[in-house]
């Protein structure tokens, strides 16, 4: 089974995950993370659901200013993503990436249809915002709502821009011209073609579909994808795939997160908007169960496989010297959700004895959490993004309050219960091997001493 997977299955998976689109998507989405964290911080400060805190914040008059930072950090995720994806595509092709990223950003804005069209008495369509200002764009698509469009536009723009430059379909200036001037002219032809092309796409959707491309993509692709992932089946598949890949030594967390981040971040953004609006954070109001928080705080907390249960056993019950040494080494990393010492030291990778709990624990944790939210035992996650290194319990409190923190502690306790019989068996095996090795070494020393005598 192992040989078949290593020879037939994993090479195809690795080939897929190392393709230019997936690499650009994975790396490009990473640019959104620091800004989402900053926006989440101000969302927490401005919308903390504690009455005394809310009253004090309102009295200071700071809430509108905090909301401004939140809106233009957390809520422009699609703009950052489309720029980052095209940037990373061009960078991988070893051409000037900044111009590619800017071209993708402008392309996204070109196909962004204005919001709230109004037809005046002369029959002319104009667009105004609440203050009567024309040319108002729909800012809703700058965040998670426009994420699928950002991915598609970023990938296509990065690919086409790179093709033009690699095939020398550019304006070339003499070597005497400064590099910054020459680079701007290199971008001229591919940028002109791309911006014109996306303009034609905008015209086609506006004329034939009577709606913007982003709205169409949101309804036809993104909404069904969010619904598909936001299900028990989606939760189960994602949780199992991560540990399945890790079992064979492949970084499952990075691969699956790279593919899923766009959808999960969109779900998180919807929840954050609902949380910020003051409406009840429920599925009925448009909230989502499967967000980035479910994966980070209940799927990979304390590391892939939720190995805190292993750590607890090793610290208090282990008999073998190998496990004891690893337990001491893993204490600090586990606090910040890093468990490579266990993955490659125990090892969990390619270890058939521990394979079952390694895959079952995160699947069980995420599944139980899914149903706990569905049944109202714990609330929907508020959409706040906390770094994956945030310690357990504290991270649970940030994304869902004290009930979520308590539930997270319960899932960590569950990990110990599931791992216990398997790690105890493995511990006995290691202890027996160590005792046999020690006996063999003592026998060799005794034989050597006898021979010398």
Task: Note whether 310 and 346 are within 8 A (CB).
Answer: yes
Print burial letters for 358-379: b (CB count within 10 Å at least 16), e (below 16). bbbbbbbbbebbbebbeeeebb
Helices 33-47 and 51-60, packing angle to 10 deg: 100
pLDDT tens string, the chain, 453 residues long: the values are 666 666 776 677 777 777 888 889 888 888 888 888 888 888 878 776 667 777 888 788 888 888 888 888 888 889 999 999 999 999 999 998 999 999 999 999 999 877 655 544 455 545 444 444 445 676 778 888 888 899 999 999 999 999 999 998 988 777 767 777 777 788 899 999 999 999 999 999 888 877 788 888 888 888 888 888 888 999 999 999 999 888 887 778 877 877 787 888 888 888 888 887 778 888 888 889 999 999 999 999 998 999 999 999 999 999 999 899 888 888 888 899 888 888 888 889 888 899 999 999 999 999 999 999 999 999 999 888 888 888 999 999 988 889 999 999 999 999 999 999 999 999 999 999 988 888 887 777 777 777 776
User: Which H/E stretch holds residue 335?
Assistant: helix 321-335
Task: Note whether 73 and 79 are within 8 A (CB).
Answer: no
Helices 402-452 and 308-316, packing angle to 10 deg: 50
Task: Note whether 296 and 398 are within 8 A (CB).
Answer: no
Task: Note whether 159 and 95 are within 8 A (CB).
Answer: no
User: Which H/E stretch holds residue 117?
Assistant: strand 117-119
Name 273's Cβ contacts closer than 8 Å, sequence gap at least 6. Answer: 75, 143, 383
Distance in angstroms (rounded) separating the CA atoms of residues 2 and 169: 48
Picking from 303, 320, 291, 274, the residue whose alpha carbon sits closest to that of residue 438 is 320
Residue 264 CB-half CA count within 13 A: 22
User: How far from chain centre, in Å, is Cα 315?
Assistant: 31
């Amino acid at each position: 089974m192992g040989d078949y997977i290593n020879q037939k299955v994993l090479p195809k998976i690795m080939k897929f995950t190392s393709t230019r689109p997936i690499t650009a998507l994975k790396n490009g989405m990473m640019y959104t993370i620091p800004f989402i964290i900053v926006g989440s911080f101000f969302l927490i400060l401005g919308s903390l659901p504690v009455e005394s805190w809310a009253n004090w914040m309102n009295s200071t008059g700071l809430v509108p200013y905090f909301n401004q930072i939140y809106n233009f950090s957390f809520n422009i995720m699609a703009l950052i993503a489309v720029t980052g994806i095209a940037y990373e595509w061009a960078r991988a092709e070893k051409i000037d990436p900044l111009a590619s990223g800017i071209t993708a950003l402008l392309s996204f804005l070109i196909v962004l249809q204005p919001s709230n069209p109004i037809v005046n008495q002369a029959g002319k369509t104009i667009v105004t915002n609440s203050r009567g200002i024309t040319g108002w764009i729909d800012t809703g698509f700058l965040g998670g709502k426009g994420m699928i469009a950002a991915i598609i536009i970023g990938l296509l723009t990065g690919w086409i821009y790179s093709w033009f430059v690699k095939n020398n379909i550019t304006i070339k200036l003499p070597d005497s011209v400064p590099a910054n001037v020459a680079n701007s002219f290199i971008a001229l032809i591919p940028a002109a073609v791309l911006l014109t092309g996306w303009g034609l796409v905008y015209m086609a959707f506006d004329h034939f579909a009577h709606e913007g491309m982003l709205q169409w993509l949101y309804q036809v692709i993104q909404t069904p994808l969010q619904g598909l992932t936001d299900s028990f089946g989606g939760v189960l598949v994602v949780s199992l795939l991560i540990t399945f890949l890790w079992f064979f030594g492949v970084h499952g967390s990075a691969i699956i997160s790279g593919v899923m981040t766009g959808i999960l971040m969109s779900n998180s953004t919807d929840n954050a908007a609902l949380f910020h609006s003051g409406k009840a954070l429920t599925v009925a109001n448009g909230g989502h169960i499967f967000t980035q928080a479910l994966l980070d705080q209940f799927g990979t907390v304390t590391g892939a496989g939720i190995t805190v249960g292993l750590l607890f056993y090793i610290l208090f019950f282990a008999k073998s010297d190998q496990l004891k040494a690893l337990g001491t080494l893993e204490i600090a990393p586990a606090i910040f959700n890093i468990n490579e010492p266990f993955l490659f030291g125990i090892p969990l990778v390619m270890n058939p004895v521990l394979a079952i709990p390694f895959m079952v624990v995160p699947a069980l944790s995420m599944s139980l959490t899914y149903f706990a939210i569905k049944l109202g035992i714990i609330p929907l996650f508020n959409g706040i993004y906390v770094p994956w290194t945030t310690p357990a319990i504290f991270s649970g409190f940030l994304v869902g309050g004290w009930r979520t923190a308590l539930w997270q502690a319960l899932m960590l306790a569950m990990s110990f219960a599931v791992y216990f019989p398997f790690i105890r068996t493995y511990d006995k095996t290691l202890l027996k091997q160590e005792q046999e090795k020690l006996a063999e070494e003592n026998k060799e020393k005794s034989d050597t001493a006898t021979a010398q005598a």
